[in-house]
Structure 1
């Protein structure tokens, strides 16, 4: 037996007549009769009695139809599953983010997203930018947020976030009373630096060298979040992504503008074709909303 025979048989049982089945499937009545005869030959028992030109289901036919109905319910479930995957993805969302955004902006986006998608399961991992890129490129994650030093080949991407660096320090630091911090203020000052491969650090170094300034680097770390924690402990001052400083001011960290402008840039990364899934599009919108709203939202 084949699927088409079963489909015609099911339409005949539902429609109650060969003419109705033919209308349902947009085929001819002879095609219905022929398919039923072939199916009866395959199963080895009559599915219908022929009574005055009508097809009346036999007891065996009624019993067989019950199992055919179960099979079609399973097929309908598969179709629905395929539609969900096509439109929404797997019903889950896997997000990887650099620490500066993963501890602040991304959680706000998750809250916004879950307000309209409460049944979607979410995985959020905080990784280095290079690891974020690798996880998205190998399709282990749907969305990634990474700093601009990553290799962008092999992933769909767009610039997501560009924000000016701020200077952070403990409340009792000599620079805490200044309105704006400039390179000259940091000369020979105990300084907590980002890792050498960080492009934002390279831009900071350019601003120092332009004025002949050389801060005294006491610690190097890859994460603005860690710079904030170290500055709060009095280890030194640092220039950080302001998103990472969110919440530290309440704990006593002093945050000051820095001139000239030095920018932190991050990209949003997608695995190939992931942007077509509705859940990915909606979470991207939530990220943009959270970025526009800022930390006070």
Structure 2
């Protein structure tokens, strides 16, 4: 005979109460029903499912394995009902951030920590990606805010200027050029240079400047991030020309930074969706950054 397929919450409640309390009398007290009502619910459940859920021995009911398995499967249902009937859950607003390595590791991590310490009701996630993937992630709405030092304008993406800076030379404190107040392109002639890779537009700009001044440094290493360039310079490998923001804010004690006399300029942007309102948590985080980003002599806030 085919079994009936509807569901009956009172029947499930009777099963659960009987399993937890052991007797129909105790189950009836818990549910506020009569013993006969509990017994009818159990009989109806057995008939509807085609399973024997309790064995009757001398007026007592003993649950079968089928009853134990059904009761276990009912756990998620009653847990969900408890959440519905219980106090409302407070959902924390989430901010999804994406940024290249230099901004993520050397700038945002610290500010995320201080922001969440003072705003524990918010939740943040941070993804590290290339500048191209930052733009793509915002366009695809996988992230709410991005940070980039590359002006990659796209329809649907808003770039908000956050910081401006001019190029600096970074080197170890015992480097011969560290004694100078300003480094000129000619000063780099025959110096060991740690260069940013060619995929960055600033690399071609630097090469044009050096070529026009007939300055020919020896490129000893090429790296894709200013973090790596500055770290190699700290190891004494040579000098590097980089964007001082934000590396100068965490390396000023163990590195020497000198202005590089050139037209090379950098801009740091906050990236957001153009056609979507900025959320409350995003506005709060941007405000936190603007208030707590320390001043430095090489960059200026927009």
Q: TM-score range by the shorter chain?
A: 0.5 to 0.7
C-alpha distance 91-295 of structure 1, shift in aligned 2 (>3 A): farther
Match of 1:168 among 151, 167, 170: 170
Q: Distance in 1 between matches of 2:166 and 2:266?
A: 6
Asked if 2 retains the 8 angstrom alpha-carbon contact of 1:275 and 1:281, the reply is: no
Match of 2:248 in 1: 245
Match of 1:187 in 2: 189
Match of 2:155 among 130, 153, 174: 153
Match of 2:25 in 1: none
Structure 2 length as normaliser, TM-score?
Answer: 0.62
SS in 1 for 2:288: helix
Match of 2:295 in 1: 294
Match of 1:207 in 2: 209
C-alpha distance 152-187 of structure 1, shift in aligned 2 (>3 A): farther
Match of 1:231 in 2: 233
Structure 1 residue 289, shift from structure 2 partner: 2.3
Match of 2:218 in 1: 216
Kindly provide the CA deviation profile for residues 174-222 of structure 1, in whole angstroms up to 9, marking residues without a partner as x: 2121111110000122111112132333332343233222322221212
- Bigger drift between 206-215 and 131-140 goes to 206-215
Q: Distance in 2 between matches of 1:275 and 1:268?
A: 15
Structure 1 residue 111, shift from structure 2 partner: 4.0
Match of 1:53 in 2: none
Structure 1 residue 284, shift from structure 2 partner: 1.6
C-alpha distance 106-224 of structure 1, shift in aligned 2 (>3 A): same
C-alpha distance 107-233 of structure 1, shift in aligned 2 (>3 A): same
Structure 1 length as normaliser, TM-score?
Answer: 0.63
Q: Distance in 2 between matches of 1:261 and 1:155?
A: 27
Q: Distance in 1 between matches of 2:161 and 2:214?
A: 32
Structure 1 residues without counterparts, runs of 5 or longer: 1-69, 85-89
C-alpha distance 268-275 of structure 1, shift in aligned 2 (>3 A): farther
Structure 1: 4+ residue segments shifted above 6 A: none
Match of 1:141 in 2: 143
Asked if 1:278 corresponds to 2:280, the answer is yes
Q: Distance in 2 between matches of 1:238 and 1:148?
A: 19
Kindly provide the CA deviation profile for residues 115-146 of structure 1, in whole angstroms up to 9, marking residues without a partner as x: 54212121122222112222222111111001
Aligned-residue CA RMSD (Å): 2.8
Kindly provide the CA deviation profile for residues 9-32 of structure 1, in whole angstroms up to 9, marking residues without a partner as x: xxxxxxxxxxxxxxxxxxxxxxxx
Structure 2 residues without counterparts, runs of 5 or longer: 1-80, 298-302
Q: Distance in 1 between matches of 2:129 and 2:229?
A: 16
Q: Distance in 2 between matches of 1:160 and 1:209?
A: 32
Asked if 1 retains the 8 angstrom alpha-carbon contact of 2:116 and 2:123, the reply is: no
Q: Distance in 2 between matches of 1:190 and 1:275?
A: 48
Match of 1:124 in 2: 126
Asked if 2 retains the 8 angstrom alpha-carbon contact of 1:95 and 1:125, the reply is: yes
Match of 2:95 in 1: 93
Asked if 2 retains the 8 angstrom alpha-carbon contact of 1:163 and 1:241, the reply is: yes
